[in-house]
Amino acid sequence: MEAILERYERYSYEERQLTESEAETQGRWNLESSKLKAKIEVLEKNIRNYVGEDLEPLNLRELQSIEQLIETALKRVRTRKNQAMHESISELHKKVIYKSVAKTSANTLRHCCQYLMSSGGFRKSL
């Protein structure tokens, strides 16, 4: 009988612990959810400001800060765009040179074959 009572007490204690843990966990999730919602609101506000919306409540310092961030980002975009353009131009130059060399080689080969055919060079070697 004592063993049964001990088991009952142990299980009821564990159940109370689980119930308390669930409540604590729910509280932590609620707090975490609130924090994440606040972060999302700040990020959405920043995005609106970066695209030029909702600027009225901002003071001069905040406007200058946004302007600096946008200028820096624009410089990075232009740098990357120029790099991509240079890479593209380089690839096109390589293709033009390759086609030019191939065309020159084909013309030279054709002229050699024509010369050999007209001079009978192929017949002599056969």
Q: Give a yes or no: residue 96 inside a domain.
A: no
Q: Give a yes or no: residue 7 inside a domain.
A: yes
Number of domains in the chain: 1
Whose tokens are 């999730």? That residue is: 29
Q: Give a yes or no: residue 14 inside a domain.
A: yes
Nearest 5°: the CA angle 10, 14, 18 is: 170
pLDDT digits (tens, 9 = 90+) for 76-103: 999 999 999 999 999 999 998 888 888 8
Task: With a cut of 80, say whether residue 126 has pLDDT above it.
Answer: no
What does the pLDDT read at residue 121? 58
Entry field: residues in the chain: 126
pTM of the complete model: 0.54
Tokens of 23: 């409540």
Task: With a cut of 70, say whether residue 18 has pLDDT above it.
Answer: no
Q: Give a yes or no: residue 24 inside a domain.
A: yes
Q: Give a yes or no: residue 25 inside a domain.
A: yes
Q: From residue 125, how far is each of 17, 62, 112, 119, 120 by CA, in Å? A: 101, 86, 15, 12, 9
Q: Give a yes or no: residue 117 inside a domain.
A: no
Mean pLDDT across the stretch 31-54? 95
Helix (H, G, I), strand (E, B) or coil at 1: coil
Range of the domain at 19: 1-57
Least reliable range by pLDDT among 10-14, 24-28, 84-88, 96-100 = 10-14
Q: Give a yes or no: residue 40 inside a domain.
A: yes
Mean pLDDT across the stretch 49-67? 95
Q: Give a yes or no: residue 91 inside a domain.
A: no
